[in-house]
Chains A and B, each alone.
Chain A
């Protein structure tokens, strides 16, 4: 077979080219098609835990962020059924924690909020859990508000793989799962975290934030105030593709 012939699969009837080893998610985003996602950040290894990026591959559901693209497969993503499930999953995350968008410093830059808008979440169909979770404001520059954590595990993965510090870990199980800090006291201030750590830059929600920076950009001028998350994610992904693969 000639190497010029690019392999493709079908996504909602559109032919999508892919490179060997690419996931369904990466190929779709590179082709300009947004698949909703929260726990995945294309700059880091996928985790497939939020399940928003679930697609139907040849009739079976898979998380597209970890599913390898295979030539000729038939993938469905933008369907009423899947979008309805994505909306419900987003609502589940919203009731599980304590998310007060109007009072949250992250508003406008929050991927959970922006994804909820993108999916058309109007209100929560589920009762609020109102969990009691600890806030860790011990560090002079960084705050960890577990109330807003969606357990995407990005800080855990990045601190381990990129910063090589293992500052963050998960503890508990099931609905009691929370972030735990690696330090003798269990507090951020006693840990090896620093404001330059990659791990503290990528929290999709308002759980891990820099102190003193919350309102530097006024509400109304923030990332997802100016463009919807679907466009922003695709544009960012495509710029990254150009940077890495030309």
Chain B
């Protein structure tokens, strides 16, 4: 093996590597830290990481290429990512991006010649209720304006370190506008765990010996508590809050009952669906509830290891999350001897690096294992063979918080709220054209109209439920209800006022899916690109009815043949729009005849660039 010469610029990489075990599962975490330290992952770093983790350079380059926040080229001292969600755009983010580029003298996506800065677009940063938003060197900027962009450009040009910028720039609000039974009062840390353990019949929880406790046949109160808690979870009928609505109790029981030397509890905080930000608020202000729900899951299924997989857009929460974990360890709510029972469970934080697909549970597990976030084959399910091929419970942040409350207050209490098939309450992330954007908690079964009334958005012409992969609702449908029986949702609720052009929404969503398709399967990889080009063609006034037919056909192919939910749901918004907002398409159609997609003049652009010509004669 050829040894690399020591490279002084690589000292930070060596320091980072010293902090990590020689395990492939550490790869993404190492790459993220290197990216933060050097603002790129150069070839020299790849070589060092390859040596340390004993993984090929090819694999490392493959991982760098997959995640949006990793780069093999230098991005500059200041790296700005402008949130490109439709709600940010409606607040003027695209104009602000161009404005900042002009102030800094950079081209979008290119690093300034002096290496000072670069400006990029990124998918939704989860600040939709306080946009336009951006990230600078990993930290969130909210409520951006032209004035703020002027100030930011000045700070960058003066090389003022980001930690010396005014704190106001980085202020993130919870905007918790309505709470119901679940998030009214936060329970004491540990209360839910104690309640769960006491369900076994031992009120005191004293004198429990670990050896006794872990033997399920002993029927000891401590073990019985876990079984009783699972029964409460069944009674609650809690369904996964990530959108799919799978019953949590079935997942937990399946995981518990598979014989395996180890099993895992994973909290999915990837929250990549544009317009979604409830997990950010839960991990900010209900952090204990989430960690307690995970610990409870470990107790019920017999796992000692929990992992919080969180999107990098929330990197600023790192000190807070670490502090809460440390406090819980100090109060025996995590660690080797939880509440003196001998139950051992701890939680690690694992960061994502900018990939919507990693919200899909099997892709998330691939990412945890240090690979490209590519969804796995349908079978086996992660609950049977997930992380490291062990049984793995993957639940949403909100699901774990709900599980903690169920342990505390009982399944019947929980099932007493909501509807027949959607028990409990749900958090809704309201953004867009309304007076009071933010987080709203309602029992399942609330109507779209009621949410609109409360947030001051009754004027809306449309609401996008559950993000770009969800459903577009028009005024005629505002009495539909938010529940698994009708509109199932991760909680995203984007409001579009009466003057919005709904075609702009379609275009934004179409581009989002092209950017986020993982590239594994043909229909999604090529289909999302074809759809984006077709929509762009219509936007350019060159659309024809044949293009609309093509959109419908490609959509159908994707829905039927795509490998995973991303590709299967990516065309939903287009099909909705073609039925419900056809006028916004038709007004762009200048002809009823076919217009070719091939643009001869545009195709000559490369030749013009090569010859340095742009005069009239160089055009058609």
Binding site for B on A (CB under 8 A): 46, 48-52, 54, 61-63, 66-68, 85, 88-89, 92-93, 95-96, 125-129, 151, 166-177, 180-184, 186
Q: Is the CB of A184 within 8 A of B47?
A: yes
Q: Is the CB of B527 within 8 A of A174?
A: no
Asked if B350 CB lies within 8 Å of chain A CBs, one says: no
Q: Which of B64, B67, B377, B529 contacts A129 (CB 8 A)?
A: B529
Contact with A along B537-569 (1 / 0, CB 8 A): 000000000000010011011001111000000
Binding site for A on B (CB under 8 A): 2, 43, 47, 56-59, 61-62, 64-68, 355, 372, 377-379, 514-523, 525-530, 533, 550, 553-554, 556-557, 560-563, 597-598
- Closest A residue to B354 by beta carbon equals A173
Given contacts A51-B521, A85-B556, A89-B523, 8 further A-B contacts (CB under 8 A): A88-B554, A88-B557, A126-B550, A166-B59, A170-B62, A171-B62, A173-B518, A176-B519
Q: Distance in Å from the Cβ of B149 to the closest Cβ of chain A?
A: 29
Chain A residues positioned under 8 Å from B530 (CB to CB): 92, 126
Q: Is the CB of A51 within 8 A of B519?
A: no
Q: Distance in Å from the Cβ of A106 to the closest Cβ of chain B?
A: 19
The CB with the most chain A CB atoms within 10 A, among B372, B519, B528, B598, is that of B519
The 8 A-B pairs at the shortest CB distance, nearest first, are namely A182-B58, A171-B65, A177-B519, A92-B526, A169-B58, A127-B597, A174-B517, A169-B62
A167, B56: Cα distance in complex, Å: 9
Chain B residues positioned under 8 Å from A68 (CB to CB): 379
Chain A residues positioned under 8 Å from B377 (CB to CB): 46, 48, 66
- Closest A residue to B532 by beta carbon equals A175
Tell whether A177 pairs with B56 under 8 Å between CB atoms, given A51-B562, A172-B65, A184-B2.
no
Q: Is the CB of A93 within 8 A of B519?
A: no
Q: Distance in Å from the Cβ of B279 to the closest Cβ of chain A?
A: 23
Q: Distance in Å from the Cβ of B609 to the closest Cβ of chain A?
A: 13
Q: Is the CB of A169 within 8 A of B59?
A: yes
- Closest B residue to A167 by beta carbon equals B58
Chain B residues positioned under 8 Å from A85 (CB to CB): 556-557, 560-561
Q: Is the CB of A49 within 8 A of B520?
A: yes
Q: Is the CB of B64 within 8 A of A171?
A: yes
Q: Distance in Å from the Cβ of B518 to the closest Cβ of chain A?
A: 6
A48, B43: Cα distance in complex, Å: 32
The CB with the most chain A CB atoms within 10 A, among B62, B378, B379, B598, is that of B62
A92, B525: Cα distance in complex, Å: 9
Q: Is the CB of A180 within 8 A of B520?
A: no
Q: Is the CB of B527 within 8 A of A171?
A: no
Chain B residues positioned under 8 Å from A51 (CB to CB): 521-523, 561-563
Chain B residues positioned under 8 Å from A54 (CB to CB): 560-561
Chain B residues positioned under 8 Å from A182 (CB to CB): 56-59
In the assembled complex, 9 residue pairs joining A and B whose CB atoms fall closer than 8 Å, in A order, are A85-B560, A88-B554, A125-B550, A169-B62, A170-B65, A172-B65, A173-B65, A175-B514, A176-B65
Q: Distance in Å from the Cβ of B158 to the closest Cβ of chain A?
A: 35
A46, B67: Cα distance in complex, Å: 25
- Closest B residue to A46 by beta carbon equals B377
Chain A residues positioned under 8 Å from B557 (CB to CB): 85, 88-89
Q: Distance in Å from the Cβ of B62 to the closest Cβ of chain A?
A: 4
Tell whether A180 pairs with B62 under 8 Å between CB atoms, given A61-B560, A66-B379, A170-B372.
yes
Chain B residues positioned under 8 Å from A175 (CB to CB): 514, 517, 519, 525-526, 528-529
Q: Is the CB of A89 within 8 A of B522?
A: yes
Q: Distance in Å from the Cβ of A65 to the closest Cβ of chain B?
A: 9
Chain A residues positioned under 8 Å from B67 (CB to CB): 173
Chain B residues positioned under 8 Å from A95 (CB to CB): 526
A19, B400: Cα distance in complex, Å: 42
Q: Is the CB of B519 within 8 A of A166?
A: no
Q: Distance in Å from the Cβ of A92 to the closest Cβ of chain B?
A: 4
- Closest A residue to B529 by beta carbon equals A175
- Closest A residue to B598 by beta carbon equals A127
Tell whether A93 pairs with B526 under 8 Å between CB atoms, given A151-B519, A170-B372, A172-B66.
yes
- Closest B residue to A63 by beta carbon equals B563
Chain A residues positioned under 8 Å from B515 (CB to CB): 174
- Closest B residue to A97 by beta carbon equals B526
